A and B are shown apart, each in its own frame.
Chain A
Amino acid sequence: MRHLLDIIDWSPEELDTLMDVADDIIAHPGDYADTMRGNILATLFYEPSTRTRLSFEAAMLRLGGHVIGFADAAASSVSKGESVADTIRTVACYADIVAMRHSKEGAPTVAAAFSSVPVINAGDGGHNHPTQTLADLLTIRREKGRLNQLVVGLCGDLQFGRTVHSLISAMSRYRSIRFVLISPDELRVPEYLREGMKAAGVPFTEVERLEDVMGTLDVLYMTRVQKERFFNEADYVRLKDSYILTAEKMKLARKDMTLMHPLPRVNEIRQAVDEDPRACYFKQMKYGMHMRQALILQLMEAAK
């Protein structure tokens, strides 16, 4: 049984095929409107997530399928102490495919081990969020026309940001990628990722200030820096403005740079930037839904 638990479990070729399907869905949505008729997606959301859950549900509905599920663990048997294994075996009796979000890391891996239907990891704690990475990859491919020969800047909290970790892992497999990692010293990427990039021969630089590297980037992936992550107030005060993207700072960027953000944002990208044609974060959400459509189709096809 094929599942999507970690983006790395899928080869670049498989991801390319998935993106081809998503491109075709975008070009010919009508051709896919009935492809999932009679099928049911279960969205098991043990912790709240408006964006990801709605994206999965919209994806299934746009394919002509149906959706069941829960949006809060308190409303399920989990509140009575049911295990993930028992929940998934029950749900697999009712649904043809499952999307699961769970606060515990590895919960979707447990679900997949006990499931008779495909399981999609819709986010497990700070561990993985592979469908966000699918959205990110499609955004880069559609906006830049390629997934190789790119300078990719990642800015903000690079230590705890799971979307950043997955994107680095996924893009390290493409040719001639260079990463520019922009973060305060406290929030640099974890050691295992740094070692992974070195082992894979992927060049990267680590800097503290966004302004210094803005003009060198093909893609800028912004994330939020939270004050409570800093060890001392002085560093926060010194650096906080460096991680807020303003229209002024966008002037330093290339004319064809692609600006991304996994959302939700708080204040790290000023609203004035939204009008900039390089700002792609809302498109990124839409691409995420189309990638989820493609993923549901591929997993259901493989399960036949």
Chain B
Amino acid sequence: MNINEIQDGYVIDHLHAGRALRVYRYLNLDQLDCSVAIIKNAKSERMGRKDIIKIDELIPLNMEIISYIDPGATVNVIQDGKLVDKIRLTVPEHVKGVLKCKNPRCITQTEQELQHMFVLKDRQKGTYRCYYCDTIHKPED
């Protein structure tokens, strides 16, 4: 497999080995009709092993959630079979509406239609706090 196989879509590259399925789940890729490929444990000179996700359609992609799970990932944008953009992700300051607060006492558990929101707490550790109840969340939670 290589990125030339995609006409219009994305290659999410340089995911740490083992994180592709979480990205797949959080991005709701199971709900797409187009081809989606998950490559686990691909050999990488820089990382040893890495995961890759290929999406064969230019869907709206939530970069915040990818960078929350793996800020070291790269998103390659393919149009007409060519690489047109290479987006290097950084740790996001906010993550909205995708993750859910794990604290059973948090107001987000009961308030109707309230968007879950997280604010970056520690850039080094990659930890976030719930905007409402301050509970600390780590990407591996």
Interface residues of A (CB under 8 A from B): 83-85, 102-107, 109-110, 124-127, 192
- Residues of chain A with a CB closer than 8 A to B107's CB: 84, 102, 104-107, 109-110, 124
Q: Report whether over half of chain A's contact residues are helix, strand or loop; otherwise say mixed.
A: mixed
Is B108 an interface residue when CB atoms closer than 8 A count as contact? yes
Residue-wise, chain B 69-110 has the 8 Å CB interface mask toward A (1 for contact) of 000000000000000000000000000000000010111111
Q: Is there contact, CB below 8 Å, between A105 and B114?
A: no
Known: A83-B112, A84-B111, A85-B114. A106 touches B106 (CB 8 A): yes
Q: Is there contact, CB below 8 Å, between A106 and B112?
A: no
Q: Is there contact, CB below 8 Å, between A103 and B111?
A: no
**Alpha-carbon gap, A206 to B112, bound state (A):** 42
Q: How many A-B residue pairs have CB under 8 A?
A: 51
**Alpha-carbon gap, A107 to B136, bound state (A):** 17
Number of interface residues of B (CB under 8 A): 18
Q: Report whether over half of chain B's contact residues are helix, strand or loop; otherwise say mixed.
A: loop
- Residues of chain B with a CB closer than 8 A to A106's CB: 106-108, 130-134
Q: Is there contact, CB below 8 Å, between B106 and A105?
A: yes
Q: Which of B106, B112, B131 contacts A104 (CB 8 A)?
A: B106
What is the distance, in angstroms, from B117's C-beta to the closest C-beta of chain A?
Answer: 10
Nearest B residue (CB) for A105: B133
**Alpha-carbon gap, A127 to B105, bound state (A):** 9
What is the distance, in angstroms, from A9's C-beta to the closest C-beta of chain B?
Answer: 12
**Alpha-carbon gap, A104 to B110, bound state (A):** 8
- Residues of chain A with a CB closer than 8 A to B111's CB: 83-85, 104, 107, 110
- Residues of chain B with a CB closer than 8 A to A105's CB: 103, 105-107, 132-135
